[in-house]
Structures are given as C-alpha cells and as structure tokens.
C-alpha cells in the first residue's frame, strides 16, 4: 500500500522538471494525480505515463478563469481535492536595475498570483471536507535573496508568508500548508540559464557537493502531503544540500 492511496492530487507545472517528478512520486505512492501545465501536450503525455487514473489538464495559473475551470474539471471527475502542490513557476535572470516592469508583472503573476489563484479555489473545497494538504513550492531566493532574481525572490518571499498565513487560517478545518524551497536543482531550466561554469561553482559551494535532483524535491513534497506529516504545518523546508541553512 502507498502512503497516498485513494488521495486526489493536483500538481501545477507538472509537464516537466520538478513538477513532473512530484507528480510521478505522488502517483507511485498511490495518488490519483491531475497533471496540470500550460503545455497541454506535456501534461497529457505525463498523465498517460503515470497511469493510476491520472489525467492531464491545461492550466495557466496566472489566469484565474483557467485555474477555476481546471479545478472544476478535477472535482467533476473525482469528487474532491485532497492534495494541492503549487509548483508552476517562471523567472528571467537579470540585474534588477536592467529589468523591465512588464517582466515584473509576469514573474509576480505566475509565481505569486498563480498560487493565490489555485488556493482561493481549492481551499474551500478542502475545508468543507475537513481535510487537505497543500505544499507550495517556494525558493531559497525568497529566504536569503539571489543576485539576478530580485522580483522572483520577492514573489517567493510572498509565497512563504502566504503559506504560513493559510496554515494558521485553515488549521481548524483540518488543512495543513507547508512550503518546500528548492536550492539549485539539476533541471533543463537550470541548464539553460546557468551553464557548466555555474554548475561547477555551485557544486563546490553546496556542502553535500552536488546539485539537487528533481526526485529530492519530490520526496520532500510526498512526505509533507502524507499522514506522516499530519502535525506539521506552516513550515518552510529548504531542499538545498545545505547551501542555505536559514
């Protein structure tokens, strides 16, 4: 038996990278996963690969109507939402003084408003049933800052504060909310931004001497949404190999 047997989970941004790893881990633990992504083809392909009743749905987290339609589809199909993992995110690395306000808007819409949109729709569903597990993917940039990621760090700092607040507000309804903050993680996105020089520098700086793998994040998320973590709420866990200890 899996730790998440018969649980219905939504994972956003699950078309690739960390989100795909989270969806795969939850499915392996027995959950029925709604794999959502702005790339519908990627979401559908991942859902078919997962099996166990998984479905792929296009959802743009920055668009409230898109989010509402996605959640309505999940509830119509499965009757409830037990687990919500807010993984969808986006960034453009550049010095703040060189950045464009249009880029700020996109970063904040996806990384902060995206999580507000999903939680605003899903939390009442969880509260009505008296059960729910929410994990918001933050970032260590939101805890300690990160050069070239000023607005992203601001959005992720907001995610961390938001997570603590909904944890307080929903505790009596049987809903927990926690934040997982990745450090440098070996994904295609990291490779496209960083290059080999940054990879080598970070590997030297990380006490455990390697980049994170998507599975490292997935394992942390799977624990926090399981009943083993039923007395943990409002917490932020960095999965960074010790790079940040805040």
How is 230-245 classified by DSSP, letter by letter? TT--S-EEEESTTS--
Task: Flag whether 244 is in a domain.
Answer: no
Catalytic positions, written as ranges: 152
Residue 152 belongs to a domain:
yes
- Whole-model pTM? 0.95
Query: Can you tell me the distance from the alpha carbon of 142 to that of 194, in angstroms, rounded to the nearest whole number?
Result: 19
CB 135 within 8 A of CB 88: no
What's the rounded Cα separation, in Å, for the pair 54 and 80? 14
What pLDDT shows up at residue 184? 84
What is the rounded end-to-end Cα distance, in angstroms, of the chain? 36
Q: Which residues of the chain have pLDDT under 50?
A: none
Is 238 inside any structural domain? no
Closest CA to 223 of 15, 78, 26, 21: 26
The CATH code of the domain that includes 26 is: 3.40.50.720
Distance CA 230, CA 208 (A): 29
* Parent domain of 211: 8-233
The pLDDT value given to residue 149? 93
Identify whether 243 is part of a domain.
no
Is residue 147, in this structure, part of any structural domain at all?
yes
Whether residue 133 is contained in a domain is answered as yes
Domain count, the chain: 1
Whether the CB-CB separation of 40 and 58 falls below 8 Å is answered with yes
Q: Decide if 206 is inside a domain.
A: yes
The predicted structure's pLDDT at residue 194: 65
pLDDT at 191: 67
Distance CA 173, CA 177 (A): 12
Query: Residue 183: what pLDDT?
Result: 87
Residue 3 resides in a domain: no
């Amino acid at each position: 038996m899996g730790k998440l047997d018969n649980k219905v989970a939504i994972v956003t941004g699950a078309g690739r990278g960390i989100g795909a790893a989270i969806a795969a881990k939850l499915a392996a633990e027995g959950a029925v996963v709604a794999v959502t992504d702005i790339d519908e083809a990627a979401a559908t392909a991942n859902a078919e690969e997962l099996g166990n009743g998984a479905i792929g749905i296009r959802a743009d987290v920055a668009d409230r109507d898109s989010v509402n339609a996605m959640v309505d589809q999940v509830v119509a199909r499965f009757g409830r939402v037990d687990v919500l993992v807010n993984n969808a995110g986006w960034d453009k690395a550049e010095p703040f003084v060189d950045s464009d306000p249009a880029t700020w808007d996109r970063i904040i819409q996806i990384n902060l408003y995206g999580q507000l949109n999903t939680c605003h729709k899903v939390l009442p569903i969880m509260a009505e049933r008296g059960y729910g597990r929410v994990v918001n993917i933050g970032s260590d940039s939101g805890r300690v800052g990160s050069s070239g990621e000023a607005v992203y760090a601001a959005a992720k700092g907001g995610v961390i504060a938001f997570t603590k607040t909904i944890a307080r507000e929903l505790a009596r309804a049987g809903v927990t909310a926690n934040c997982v903050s990745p450090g440098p993680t070996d994904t295609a996105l990291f490779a496209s931004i960083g290059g080999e020089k940054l990879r080598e520098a970070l590997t030297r700086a990380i006490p455990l001497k390697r980049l994170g793998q998507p599975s490292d994040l997935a394992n942390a998320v799977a624990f926090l949404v399981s009943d083993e973590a039923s007395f943990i709420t409002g917490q932020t866990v960095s999965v960074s190999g010790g790079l940040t200890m805040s």
